[in-house]
């Protein structure tokens, strides 16, 4: 997916930035010293020049010379630990002198009898260490190589070849490997030079070395050499490095398995053929095992490597999940370490692009931690989480979970840092919208309270209000299905109960003077009525006869603006609880029922009017429902619009009508979906 390519590159690039420095140097650099003053600089230059003169004059096997040379290399190394003065040391000529002492001095006739040779390997080790420190600054790397250091450093890697091993030799080899690491760091030409000088085979051979520190240093150098250099990658694999690297993944030494997983990650990056070889060599399970390592750096690199394994090979995605990677990756999402969160989200994002994995990732608890990471202020972390959620949204089984945990709302309301993340979130919401149909819709209806509370309904309404005609139609169809499942319009669904028990005197008392105690004048004609029946029928008549109105004591009450026919039907409903309503008088009767607060009669009128809704009049019918607060009629208009959306969309004024009714659509669905189980909805 294009949304993810930019970030994948930046993640992998981090793997080439490991700088191999000793523990003392790391401790010394916790607080960077200030740059030297002019006087301090002059003193350092003098000191460095003095040490260079010592080195120039002690290239012999004389014991005193060897001791002096060793002290000089240590002094220069101590100075080089401060990057602020490294340029001064170089200016003093240290590189040339140190490179010379990477090789042992020639053995004269007098030296042959001296056993063991004085400070054998020690001066070379000190020189390699000092050069490695100077190489931390990129501007010094090429100067050191041009001075001939590489060939000597490669030779030092082979010091054990004569069958001798000792602590001094091991330490020397380690310093040589460290120096190669720093020289080649982010320098493509020097990486190539190391290969051309024959540096890769001895480094691969050192992966079998008994000393774990040597193994670690060799792996670190190979890691740097493999980064963004295809020829180096191929030679490392051709030298049969993979079996030993995979064994190192299982090491109990965190430093060793950290470097091993880093080498494999750089070998695999952008190299599908090498990735296949790595997997065939058995790397997958030990890499998954590192997800539970006590070393957070190894966890991070393992998660990144699993993401690389899962990049294109669908079978590998499934195998990673089957072999137990999901749970530790989800746990890493909740780590306080931002880099662990970022790498695990990256790996889960790749795994979530496989259909077979998507439901399992959500079921195992991955959804909420990924949603939580959307609140991160780290753009890369936020993007990785969004990409993983995009994959999970592709599975219908996850849609209800997205809504249940408030995922839709989080996606809609989140503040996203980069445009790629915004695009990814928009596509995720669209995926969720498209999935709300069929069995998913049935399930959401079953969870109708959750559907509303967590913005599930907003997905469909968002489709209806979108600018695309297809999206609008999809939203209308889904809402229509939802409405059909949730409720059925019926004339029996009439009015709410009257606040007082209803009294029906019966048909024979309609406009009957017998026992009549009030008379209405309608269009000049008398209509006989009974206060007890009217008082029980509505609040309007109760106010008329029990309130402070003049009609309270009047015997004849004039009724303006209502035709005799309409008034008679209204009174018939009051006396009997029913009346026959035809289309030609339904709207006038609705107006009268609204005026006298006869909710039951209003519902019957609305039901009759609703049967006459058409493409031509639906807009005016909706206006009528608004004018008389005819909720049932309004809902009928909404359902008609959703059912006939395809045909209505071709008519003028359609868009304005839709935008106008969206708030009422929302209210309608909230009402019908939040009803209790008074209706038995068969799913």
- pLDDT confidence tier of residue 677, bands split at 50, 70 and 90: very low
| Per-residue confidence (pLDDT) for residue 396, from 0 to 100 | 86
What is the 3-class SS of 281-328, one letter each residue?
Answer: CCCHHHHHHHHHCCCHHHHHHHHHHHHHHCCCCHHHHHHHHHCCCHHH
Give yes or no for residue 449 having a pLDDT over 60. no
- pLDDT confidence tier of residue 258, bands split at 50, 70 and 90: very high
- pLDDT confidence tier of residue 250, bands split at 50, 70 and 90: very high
| Per-residue confidence (pLDDT) for residue 278, from 0 to 100 | 96
Give yes or no for residue 12 having a pLDDT over 60. no
Arithmetic mean of pLDDT, 270-286: 94
- Cross-strand bridge partners of residue 528: 519
Q: What is the H or E stretch that residue 556 is in? A: strand 556-558
Distance CA 556, CA 475 (A): 56
| Per-residue confidence (pLDDT) for residue 455, from 0 to 100 | 57
Q: Environment class of residue 385 by beta-carbon count within 10 Å: exposed (0-12), middle (13-18) or buried (19+)?
A: buried
475 versus 638: which is more confidently predicted?
Answer: 638
Percent helix, strand, coil in the chain, to 5, is: 70, 0, 30
Mean pLDDT, the chain, rounded, equals 85
102-148 pLDDT, tens digit per residue, is 999 987 665 554 567 889 899 999 999 999 999 999 999 999 999 99
- pLDDT confidence tier of residue 440, bands split at 50, 70 and 90: low
| Per-residue confidence (pLDDT) for residue 646, from 0 to 100 | 86
Instruction: List, in order, residues 6 or more apart from 543 with CB less than 8 Å away.
Output: 549
148-194 pLDDT, tens digit per residue, is 999 999 999 998 776 667 889 999 999 999 999 999 999 999 999 99
179-236 pLDDT, tens digit per residue, is 999 999 999 999 999 999 999 999 999 999 999 999 999 999 999 999 999 999 999 9
List phi, psi (to 5°) of 20: -95, 100
Q: Is the peptide bond before 116 cis (omega within 30 degrees of 0)?
A: yes
pTM over 0.95: no
Least confident of 109-113, 251-255, 327-331, 619-623: 109-113
* Residue whose token pair is 């195998």: 319
Q: Dihedral, CA atoms, 131, 135, 136, 137, nearest 10 degrees? A: 130
- pLDDT confidence tier of residue 322, bands split at 50, 70 and 90: very high
């Amino acid at each position: 997916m294009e949304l993810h390519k930019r970030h994948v590159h930046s993640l992998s690039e981090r793997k080439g930035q490991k700088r191999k420095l000793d523990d003392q140097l790391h401790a010394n650099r916790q607080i960077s010293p200030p740059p030297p003053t002019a006087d301090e600089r002059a003193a350092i230059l003098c000191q460095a020049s003095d040490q260079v003169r010592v080195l120039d004059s002690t290239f012999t096997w004389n014991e005193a010379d060897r001791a002096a040379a060793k002290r000089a290399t240590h002094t220069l190394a101590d100075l080089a630990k401060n990057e602020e003065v490294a340029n001064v040391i170089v200016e003093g000529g240290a590189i040339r002198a140190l490179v010379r002492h990477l090789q042992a001095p020639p053995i004269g006739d007098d030296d042959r009898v001296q056993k063991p040779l004085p400070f054998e390997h020690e001066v070379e080790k000190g020189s390699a260490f000092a050069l490695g420190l100077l190489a931390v600054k990129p501007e010094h790397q090429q100067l050191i190589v041009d001075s001939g250091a590489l060939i000597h450093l490669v030779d030092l890697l082979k010091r054990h070849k004569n069958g001798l091993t000792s602590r001094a030799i091991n330490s020397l080899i380690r310093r040589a490997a460290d120096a190669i690491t720093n020289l080649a760091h982010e320098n493509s030409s020097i990486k190539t030079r190391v290969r051309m000088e024959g540096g890769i085979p001895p480094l691969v051979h050192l992966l079998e070395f008994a000393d774990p520190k040597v193994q670690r240093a060799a792996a670190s150098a190979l890691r740097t050499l493999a980064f963004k250099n295809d020829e180096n990658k191929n030679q490392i694999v051709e030298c049969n490095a993979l079996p030993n690297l995979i064994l190192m993944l299982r090491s109990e030494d965190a430093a060793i398995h950290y470097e091993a997983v880093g080498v494999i990650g750089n070998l695999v990056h952008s190299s599908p053929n090498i990735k296949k070889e790595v997997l065939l060599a058995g790397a997958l399970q030990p890499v998954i095992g590192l997800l539970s390592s006590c070393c957070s750096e190894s966890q991070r690199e393992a998660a990144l490597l699993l993401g690389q394994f899962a990049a294109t090979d669908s079978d590998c995605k499934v195998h990673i999940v089957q072999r137990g990677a999901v749970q530790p990756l989800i746990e890493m999402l909740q780590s306080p370490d931002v880099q662990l969160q970022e790498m695990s989200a990256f790996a889960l994002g790749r795994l979530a692009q496989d259909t077979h994995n998507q439901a399992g990732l959500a079921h195992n608890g991955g959804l909420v931690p990924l949603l939580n990471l959307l609140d991160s202020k780290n753009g890369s972390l936020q993007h990785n989480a969004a990409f993983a959620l995009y994959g999970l949204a592709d599975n219908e089984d996850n849609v209800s979970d997205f809504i249940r945990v408030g995922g839709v709302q989080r996606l809609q309301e989140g503040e996203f840092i980069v445009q790629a993340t915004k695009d990814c979130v928009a596509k995720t919401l669209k995926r969720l919208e498209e999935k709300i149909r069929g069995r998913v819709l049935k399930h959401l209806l079953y969870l109708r309270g959750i559907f509303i509370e967590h913005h599930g309904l907003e997905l469909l309404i968002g489709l209806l209000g979108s600018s695309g005609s297809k999206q609008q139609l999809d939203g209308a169809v889904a809402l229509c299905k939802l409405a059909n499942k949730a409720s059925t319009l019926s004339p029996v669904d009439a009015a709410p109960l009257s606040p007082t028990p209803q009294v029906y005197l019966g048909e024979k008392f309609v406009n009957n003077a017998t026992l009549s105690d009030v008379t209405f004048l309608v269009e000049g004609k008398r209509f006989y009525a009974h206060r007890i029946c009217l008082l029980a029928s509505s609040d309007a008549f109760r106010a008329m006869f029990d309130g402070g109105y003049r009609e309270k004591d009047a015997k004849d009450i004039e009724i303006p603006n209502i035709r005799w026919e309409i008034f008679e039907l209204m009174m018939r409903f009051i006396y009997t609880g029913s009346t026959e309503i035809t289309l030609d008088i339904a709207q006038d009767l609705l107006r009268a029922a609204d005026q006298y607060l006869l909710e039951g009669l209003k519902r019957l009128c609305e039901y009759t009017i609703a049967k006459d809704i058409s493409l031509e009049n639906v807009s005016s019918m909706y206006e009528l429902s608004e004018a008389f607060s005819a909720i049932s009629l309004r809902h009928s208009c909404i359902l008609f619009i959703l059912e006939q959306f395809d045909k209505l969309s071709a008519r003028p004024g359609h868009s304005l009508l839709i935008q106008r009714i969206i708030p009422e659509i929302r209210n309608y669905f909230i009402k019908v979906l939040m009803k209790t189980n008074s209706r038995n909805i068969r799913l």
